[in-house]
Amino acid sequence: MVALRAIRSLALAPGELSATVYSGWSTPDDRDIWTYASQGLLRAGQRELVLNVVAEPGDGADAAAAPEFPFWLMAELHRQVRAGRQVDAGGHTLLAEPGWGLGITGFAYERFADGATLYPDGLEPLLAMPLVHDEARVAYRYGYARVLAMMGAQTSVFPYPGYFDRRRPPVTEFDTQSAGTLLAGATVLHAPEVEVAGNTRQVRVAVRPEWARPLAERLREAGELAALLTSAVHSFARQRYVWTGDNVRTAIGVPQSGDPMIAGNFLMLVAAESEPRVHVIEDGYGLIMPPPRWRELLEALEAGREYRWQVGEIEVTIAIAVTEHDSPFGHYTTGEPIAVHQPSDPRPDAVGVEIVLLTEQQVIDTEITVDQLVTFCRSVIGTVDTAVRGISHDSEKLVVAVEFAPERPLYVQLATSGDFPDAEGQRLTERLNALTPPPVRERVIAFEIWFSLNG
């Protein structure tokens, strides 16, 4: 991971809130980024805030002429939290009129795992993403997940670009959206505590436990046609649908063969005396159910229990996400306890190794044997051991994310804390992706291996 360099500091509320501007990160096409990070919001009861802005020549080498709006936003959140109002992932700030000569009309917030390295406690800050022109209005009416996915498609960054380019055009217009989406005729409920993904065999919805009962109450009030505007990030789906307006089914993300799970930007629920149906609608999923099934679903949510329903060849699961896992690659929520294993083999180059199974144990057991999994994990651990033994680094933690599925190449990601050489990290990733995983027939197997390094 690239080390950041502090180049500018500013007191926003003396003794209470300040901000630092860092350089060091860059966009996928190698443009420099100014990283603005708050200090002091957490003391007031609000997650710290980070904004990434693409640098321009006129900003100056010390960012003295860089945009000021991140400082305004940090101060605004500080004022709000002192008044008892907080924002979190899935939240938003709307402006009365476009600001700063950049057409900014609002901000969307998501958790920012990479930003945790900016803070001593390692707590994930929020990442604020500026929305321009009609984007904020569209996001508020039809979902922040939809707009962020369109931004991802515009920049070819999955799931969305974590930086703001002052020159980028808006990705959508409100009138175009309203004329072309079925959401215009539905009661919409912002539900960032809900995520949805599916393929040809299943649609899986995950709801955070503390939101299950309130969600049931909101659905009762909404009536028989409601659309949940779901989370803009997904625990495990590596692809996400994108709204195109022409009914052409389009997704962004990691190319996958077979029948991958694809995240949706909303879940439309319809209670009607008609044939039950589950299908993809625009960039989301639709579920038509008879009234008795609708009532059963609401009762399950109120009780905080899982609900399953077979609709033809598709299994629908509404899971209560009882387990959370903060990963460098995303924030996972699952309906099953996440299993963590610690290998007993003595290891000279690391003080600890943990294997975190992101796929449920019973699913793994139907696809591969314990011996196959152990053998492959040892290959990964051995490859990492060999690599780090010869690298000079100042990293205390290294995490390898592994995913393999039918008819698809092995997919490995690498994350480190501290200073780890980029070139060596890339070579290690290539070596890991060259390993041969055990074959699987139907389901995705995903896990992480966490290494505590001596440095």
Domain assignments of the chain as residue spans, ordered by start: 5-178, 182-320, 338-453
DSSP state of 114: G
CATH of 182-320, one of 3.30.1180.20, 3.40.50.2000, 3.30.1360.220, 3.30.110.30: 3.30.1360.220
pLDDT given for residue 405 in this prediction: 79
pLDDT band at 34 (very low <50, low <70, confident <90, very high): very high
Residue with tokens 């995705």: 444
Residues 6+ apart with CB under 8 A from 211: 191, 193, 194
pTM: 0.76
Position 362 scores a pLDDT of: 75
Nearest Cα residue to 149 out of 52, 246, 245, 252 = 252
- Closest-CA residue to 334 (of 220, 205, 430): 205
Contact by Cβ (8 Å): 197, 158 = no
Q: How confident is the model at residue 245 (pLDDT cuts 50, 70, 90)?
A: confident
Strand partners, 17: 13
For 225, 335, 367, the CA distances from 443, given in Å and listed in that order, are 33, 17, 7
What is the structure's pLDDT at 400?
Answer: 92
- Report how far apart, in Å, the C-alpha atoms of 161 and of each of 26, 96, 157, 158, 250 are: 12, 25, 6, 7, 18
pLDDT of residue 348: 45
| 445-453/397-404 β-pairing | antiparallel
Q: Are 352 and 328 in contact (CB under 8 A)?
A: no
Q: What is the pLDDT of residue 349?
A: 47
Q: Is the pLDDT of residue 324 over 70?
A: no
**pLDDT at residue number 326:** 66
Closest CA to 373 of 316, 303, 438, 431: 438
Task: Assign domain 338-453 one CATH number from 3.40.1350, 3.30.500, 3.30.2010, 2.60.98.
Answer: 3.30.500
pLDDT, position 88: 93
Asked whether 48 and 70 are in contact (CB, 8 A), the reply is no
pLDDT at 120: 85
pLDDT at position 106 is 98
Beta strands in 133-238 (DSSP E): 187-190, 194-198, 202-207, 225-229
Task: Tell me the pLDDT of the chain averaged across its residues.
Answer: 89
- Give percent above pLDDT 70 in the chain: 93
How far apart, in Å, do the first and last CA atoms of the chain sit? 14
pLDDT score at 350? 45
The answer to whether 107 and 90 are in contact (CB under 8 A) is: no
Element (DSSP H or E) covering residue 144: helix 144-155
442 against 252, higher pLDDT: 252
More confident residue, 406 or 229: 229
Query: How far apart (Å, rounded) are the C-alpha atoms in residues 193 and 206?
Result: 8
